[in-house]
Chains A and B, each alone.
Chain A
C-alpha cells in the first residue's frame, strides 16, 4: 500500500507538530457490485496507529464511513527528536507503514 506522510522536519519542544498522511486504499464498503452483479467484499483499513519515539500517541478505528484513500491529519507534541511511525492494517490483513523524522530543539 502506497502512502504519503508529511510532517514538519523541525519543531521546538512542546510545540504541537502536524502529521498528515494519505494512504492509497479503496476502503471497500461491501455494498458495491461489479458488472456481473457480484458483491465486492468489504475491505477497509480498520486499524491505524501512530507512535512517536516508540510510544503510541494516536490510534484510529475506522469503518466504511471513511472515504477511499483515507486521509488523516492530527498532532503530536514535540518532546525529543525521533521518528513518527504510522502503521495500519486492512481486513485482508494487508499492512502498511510510513514514518517521518522530526528534529526537536529547545
Chain B
C-alpha cells in the first residue's frame, strides 16, 4: 500500500479529510536534474503552544518510494518552514501534507518538469 502515492496518503490521513490551503510547497517549475531539486514547504501557523504544525509529509507521485520525508515540527520552532533538496524520478506532481495540532490536515501540490530523472528505479 505504501508503494503507491494514494496508499501513502491514505496511511497519513487515516480516514481524515485534507483541505487545500495553509500549506505552500515551493518547487522550481523545471528541474534540470532530478538528483537534487530545491524544495521549500511553509505552513501558515502561529507555531504557539495552542496552535502549531505537528508534521509535514512529502509525497512523490513517481518515485519508487512515494514518501520522501516526514518532518516533525513543534511550537519551539517559531516558524513552520523547512527547506531541503529532493530526488525526483521524472516529471510529476509533489504533494505536501501538513497536520496541525488540532488534528486537521492541509495540503499543497506542485507540478515540476524534470528533464533528467534521478533514475531511482535503476533505469
Contact = CB atoms under 8 A, between A and B. Distances in A.
Given A70-B84, A73-B82, A65 B60 contact: yes
A52 interface: yes
A5 B84 CA distance: 14
Given A29-B120, A63-B65, A75-B78, A58 B85 contact: no
Count chain A CB atoms within 10 A of each CB in B35, B36, B79 and give the residue with the most: B79
Describe A's contact surface by its main secondary structure: strand
Given A57-B74, A57-B77, A31 B83 contact: no
B121 interface: yes
Count chain B CB atoms within 10 A of each CB in A55, A67, A74, A76 and give the residue with the most: A67
A2 interface: no
A78 B73 CA distance: 15
Contacts of A71: 83-85
Interface of B: 35-37, 47, 58, 60, 63-65, 67-79, 81-88, 118-122
Interface of A: 14-17, 27, 29, 31-33, 52, 55-68, 70-79
15 contacts: A16-B77, A17-B78, A52-B76, A58-B74, A61-B72, A62-B69, A63-B67, A63-B69, A64-B63, A64-B120, A65-B60, A65-B67, A67-B35, A72-B82, A77-B78
